A = this chain, B = another copy of it.
């Protein structure tokens, strides 16, 4: 009979570790900038490459279009993001950071990197590289089940 110790079950460990990290990040962003993770992700991607539609943002952040829609609305509401008309398609808009949004990003990004550094403190660059590579492979091998 197969026996299974929950603590040895990798999907469980992965989930616990990920939830802890997410909770840490979420509360830091919320406290420091009033941003939810979904909003922060949008800001980061828009900063990388302005002028994306929500659909493109959804792909880039792997988030549901509903989540993107709500996060974008919140950012526009707060004046961090502006919508420009999309000449080629009137259903969508191009999103870009406002000056305020850019300033916020310039403020948030270092904090994010610092948090990351804190969580992964004590890992050598080689270990981090290996970890990243494993996440890629896991993501790929679990993707088929995930409709998205």
Dominant secondary structure at the A interface: helix
A45 to chain B, nearest CB (A): 5
Q: How many copies does the complex hold?
A: 2
Q: Which of A77-85, A91-99, A130-138 lies at the binding interface? A: A130-138
What are 25 A-B residue pairs whose CB atoms fall within 8 Å in the complex? A2-B110, A3-B109, A4-B47, A6-B41, A9-B44, A9-B116, A10-B132, A10-B135, A11-B116, A13-B132, A13-B136, A14-B17, A14-B18, A15-B18, A17-B139, A18-B18, A18-B19, A20-B142, A21-B142, A24-B142, A118-B141, A119-B141, A121-B141, A122-B141, A130-B130
What is the interface of chain A, defined by CB distance below 8 A to chain B?
1-6, 9-25, 27-28, 41, 44-45, 47-48, 60-62, 106, 109-110, 112-113, 115-116, 118-123, 127-128, 130-132, 134-139, 141-143, 145-146
